Amino acid sequence: MPIPPLRVLVLEDHAFQRSFAVSMLKHSGCSEVFKAADGAQALAILQEVGAVDIALCDLCMEGMDGLEFLKRAAQAGLVGSIIIGSSLSVDLRRAACQIVSLLGLDVLGDVGKPLRPEDLAFLLKKYLKARGVEPVTLPAVKQADEELVHQALAEQQLQAWYQPKFNLLTGEVCGVEVLSRWQHPSKGTLSPAAFIPVLERCGLMDELLFSQLHQALDLQRQARDRGFSLNIAFNLQAAQLANGELMSTIKGILVDYGAHGSSLTFELTETGLLEASATSLENLVRLRMMGSRLSIDDFGAGFSSLQRLCQLPFNEIKLDGEFVRTLEDEPRCRTVIASTLALGEALGMSVVIEGIETEEQHQQLLELGCTQGQGYLLARPMSGTDLLRWLQESSV
């Protein structure tokens, strides 16, 4: 398998296993392979040579252990993806993978010990494949200047993009999720990473939501005129529910476009919902009373509270895409998906599966009884103009 230039660090306290892993990586074609016997040595190496693409990391060792190393490396931005290679029990390794994910690092897999060449080759291939299907990195500032973001919002440069949701059984589009892109006059299309943190810091997320509502409801009306009925889903932060004027503004925008609340879905991540205020709960209830659907987004990505799931008026679960990405490698993910489907049915809630990227995943999800999903296999995010054209072409 030809490997583009990859920088890999091997953190392993056992000399023979460390040398064996280094040899396998070099034989696979990795351009630069660094090695360390403990976390402190690994940090010192990375501070000297710079960040690596992948760290093959043991967990239990003398001195600074693997978890402490990964915590510090993540904070310093010195590691991209992680392969866990440890002789600890499976449950401990699984918990470690969860910790690593919460640190913001990508867990490629858990190879255990002894390390097998075929396992390592598979994960390297997985890394390259994932890198290949990611959206092209477009010209962007890391975080734009606050004044420029204010100007972009005022001049409607922050555009709504749309990713379809599908009925997996029929292939029909059952709705779209609204995302944001910055159509910069000189730098092209910029990702949300360039402006969302600035909007959050400046308290402008409500203004973004209302702008998205105007754009999306106009698109919904155009689609309806062409014979397409679209439910439109908006991402809503838990903090926005504390806005006492939220409902009156949303209702006013719906009136402007002759739209109904039943044609909207609002997606909220479970993070931030654990301490919902009275105003937040009231807004959730009023959204449902308006006919809108409420969806828990990225379900399972954090520490899900089933109690809150029962207490809050949600009627849709969006299962985090991580369970799909590891569906073929981790048998427990299949169980989690099946259990979530059963939970949704028991609670009278629909379940949408995120992150479908391969036909194999699609088929396995159908076998499990999944009926709704979205992901790059089915359709990528697109502008409103492209969505209308895509809907027209797909219906032919």
Catalytic residues: 354
Cα torsion 160, 163, 167, 169 to 10°: value is 160
Dihedral sign of CA atoms 347, 348, 353, 354 in order = negative
Contact 178, 160 (CB under 8 A): yes
Rounded to whole angstroms, how far apart are CA atoms 309 and 296?
8
**Token digits for 115?**
């390390």
Distances (CA, A) of 211 to 85, 181, 216, 238, 312: 47, 12, 9, 18, 27
Q: Locate 263 and state its tokens.
A: 């044609």
Helix or strand run (H / E) with residue 248: helix 246-257
CA–CA separation, 30 and 7 (whole Å):
7
Nearest partner of 180 among 160, 166, 208, judged by Cα: 160
Give the C-alpha separation, 44 to 35, whole Å.
11
Residue type present at position 355: G
Is the four-CA dihedral 175, 101, 345, 311 of positive or negative sign?
negative
- For 181-197, letters b (16+ CB in 10 Å) and e give bbbbeeeebbbbebbbe
8 A C-beta contact, residue 259 and residue 250:
no
With b meaning 16 or more CB within 10 Å and e meaning fewer, what string describes 356-381?
Answer: bbbeebbebbeeeebbbbbbebbbeb
Q: Reduced to 3 DSSP states, what percent helix, strand and coil does the chain have, rounded to the nearest 5? A: 45, 20, 35
